[in-house]
Structure 1
C-alpha cells in the first residue's frame, strides 16, 4: 500500500478501515473531518484491526459535534479537555475521539504532532488524498520512528516515553536525531501526569518488540525518578510458556524489574498492581534462582502469595527448573503450588471441640503445611494430625 499513488492509497485505506462497520456514518461528520492517529497508521502498516479506536480531527467545535453524534447514534459523549476542545464518543464498544484541529489547517495540525508516522491524515468529509506534510509515509516504508520536531516533544513530554512505547509495539528503528532529543529532554517527563506515564509503561512492557525499548530505558535516565536501583534489563526466557501465560507473566516481570515499589506508588498504580509487583520482587530476591532451597514454611508462603503470578517468577529460573515448576503449576491439584486448607475452623470445633483462637490458627497453618508437602492426603489423616498438634501445643503450654 505504501507504494501506491496517493489517491489509490486513500481508496485502499478506506476499504481496509471498513467505515461501514463503524458505529457512526461518515455522512454525518462535519465538513473538513479527517482521520488521524493509530487506526490510520496501523492500516498503513497492514496491521488490520476490525475494531480500532478512531481519532477524528474537525475544523472547529469538536465538543458540539461529539455531542451531536452521540445524540444521533445513541452513544455517550465525554468531555476530555474543554479548553483544547477534545471529546470522546463511546458507543457499542467503540471509542472515537474528536478534537479540534490546531493551527490554521490540517497541515498545521499535523506539524504539531509527535512522530511523523502519526502525522498522516485521511480526509473523510469530503474524501481526498492522504495528507502527509512531514514525510510519515516514507518513514513507515523504511520502518523508522522520527519525531516531527524537537519542540513538539517538549510541548508534551509524555511523547518522550510514547516514542519508546511505539518501538515496543511496532518493529521500528529509532531515528538518531530523535534519540538525541529524547535523551536531551528526559527530565521533562516528570512534568507529565503520573497516571499517563504509567499507562504508557504498561503498554510498553506488553509490546511484542519491547526488548529494544527496554534496552534504551536501561541506557537512558528517562525513568530515573521511578526506576529500580539497578534498572538492568533482565533476560526472560518465555519459550516454555503458552501465549496466555506469557501475556500475564512477562509484562509483570518487566514492570517489576523496571519500576521500584516507591516508583509505582508515585505513579499512582492501583493497590493491586503495587502488591503484585512488591510480592514478585520480594520472592525473586528470596529465591535467588534457587527457590527449592527455601525452608518449607517459606516455600509454602511463596506459593500462597504468588499462586496466580508464579509464572512471572518462573521466567527467571534455570531452564530445567522452569520445566518442573511449570508442570506442577499447571496442575490445579498440586497441593504445594495451589495450597488449600485440608480442614476448616468449623470442622476443628466440631471434631476436636477446639474454640476459635491462637491454638486453632496454629493448627490450621500446620495442617496446610503438612498437606502442601504431601504428609497428609485425606480428611482422616488431617484429623489425626490435628489431634496430635493440639496435644503438642497443650503440652508446651503446660
Structure 2
C-alpha cells in the first residue's frame, strides 16, 4: 500500500497479504493449485512466500483479533496501511500513516514495537534512505536510546539491511545516520585506522557518495550499481567486521581490498589521492591487479579530473596497466626457454607483467628477449 500510494510500484510488485489463519498452509494450497513455488519465511509466525510467474506474494497470519489490531503491531506508521479485499472496502489507516506519507516522515508506531524486533531500528534508517524521508525526532530518539539491542539480531539479517541501505539512493547519508545512532557499533573496525582517526569525519566519505559524483564521473547505471554500495560499505566496515556479519567471502575480500587502498592513499585530512605519488611501479601494478574489477569504487573518492582520466583508461580493456596481464604465458616460457614449473618461473612472469604494464614491452618476441635477459641477470 505504501509504495502504491507513493507511485513506486513496478509492473509486478511484491504483494503482502494478511490472512486470519495459517498462512503457510494456505500458501501451499495456492502453490499446488497454481503451480507456484512456496518458501517458508518464518514458521513460528506463520509467514510464507509464493513465487508465481514473476510475482512474489508474502502471506502472513494475522496478529490479534482483527486486521486493525495487526496494523497496530507494525514497525512504522506508513507500513501500517491495509486495504481489505472486499468490494467497496476502504483503506485502513489506524495509526496515521497517510499523514506521514504526505509529510515525508518515518514515524514508529510504538517504542515497544521497535523492541519486539530490534532490526526494525536499522530498517527505519534504510526505509528513510530509500524513500527520501526523514526520521521523526521521537522515533530517532527511541532508536538512539535502544541502539545496543541491534546486537541481539542475527548477523545475516543485519547484513541484509546494510546491503540494502548501501544500495539505496540516499545510502551514504543513511549509513552515516546509522553510524551516528550507534547501530553500527557492534561491527565497527576493531583497529580504527585513518578512516576513523583524528581529523577525519568517519561519515564524511559515505555522505559525499550521495552527491551526484557517480553521474559527474560518467558511470553507467551498471557501473554505479556495483561501485556505490561497495564504496559506502568499505568506508565504514573492514573485512573482519563483515566476517562477523557473516557476509560472503567475496564481499569481505572486495571491501577489504578497497578499504586497504583507501587507508593507504588517505592524507592526514582524509584527502584522496595524496598517497599516489608515493607508490612505486610495483605498488601501482598491485593496485590495478587487486582493484581491476572494482576500480570505479575507488574513483568515487578521487578529484574529478583524475577520476575521469583513470575511468577512461579503465574502460579500455587493452590498457596494460589498468588491466595488467603477462605478455606471454608460462607454458610458452617453459617450452621456449627450457624452464620447469618453479618459483623462478612465477617471478619471471611477474617481472614481465610489470614491464608490460609500464609500457616497456610489446609483443611476444620482445617478451622472450626480456625473459632471457632476466634469466641471465638472476643466474649470474
Q: 2:290 aligns with which of 287, 305, 308?
A: 305
| Contact 2:47/2:61 (8 A) holds in 1 | yes
Q: Which position in structure 2 is the counterpart of 1:255?
A: 233
How many aligned residue pairs are there? 356
**Superimposed CA distance per residue, residues 293-323 of structure 1 (whole angstroms, 9 cap, x where no aligned partner):** 3111111111111100011111112222112
Unaligned runs of 5+ in 2: 197-201, 267-272
1:174-193 to 2 correspondence within 5 Å? 174-193=135-154
> Is 1:330–2:336 an aligned residue pair?
no
Match of 1:286 in 2: 264
Q: Is the 8 A contact 2:167 2:229 kept in 1?
A: yes
Cα distance in 2 between the residues matched to 1:135 and 1:54: 21
Structure 2 residue 28 is the aligned partner of structure 1 residue 57: no
Q: Deviation string for 1:263-282 (max 9, x for gaps)?
A: 11111000000000111111
1:263 is paired with a residue of what secondary structure? helix
Moved more, 75-84 or 177-186: 75-84
Residue of structure 2 in register with 1:147 after alignment? 108
Q: CA deviation at 1:126?
A: 5.0
Q: Alpha-carbon deviations, 1:338-364, whole Å to 9, x = none?
A: 011111111011111111112211111
Counterpart in the other structure of 2:175: 214
Counterparts of residues 1-398 of structure 1 (less than 5 Å)? 40-126=1-87, 128-228=89-189, 229=192, 230=196, 231-234=202-205, 235-236=208-209, 237-238=213-214, 239-240=216-217, 241-288=219-266, 289=273, 290-395=275-380
Q: What value does the CA root-mean-square deviation take over the aligned residues?
A: 1.4
Q: Could you tell me how far 1:127 is from its partner in structure 2?
A: 5.5
3-state secondary structure, aligned to 2:18: strand
How far does the alpha carbon of each residue in 1:46-97 deviate from its partner, in whole angstroms, 9 at most, with x for none?
1131121111100112111101100111011222222211111122233211
Which has the higher Rg, Structure 1 or Structure 2? 1
Return the TM-score normalized by structure 1. Answer: 0.87
Name the CA distance, whole Å, in 2 between partners of 1:252 and 1:227.
16
TM-score by length of 2: 0.91
Q: Which moved more, 1:364-373 or 1:214-223?
A: 214-223
Q: 1:243 to 1:152 in 2, by over 3 A?
A: same
- Whether the aligned pair in 1 keeps the contact of 2:122 and 2:178 (CA below 8 Å) is no
- 1:121/1:131 contact within 8 Å kept: yes
Give the secondary structure class of the aligned counterpart of 1:123.
coil
| Runs of 4+ with deviation above 4 angstroms | none
For 2:49, what is the secondary structure of its paired residue?
strand
Cα distance between partner residues in 2 of 1:315 and 1:269? 23
Q: Unpaired runs of 5+ in structure 1?
A: 1-39
Contact 1:292/1:299 (8 A) holds in 2: no
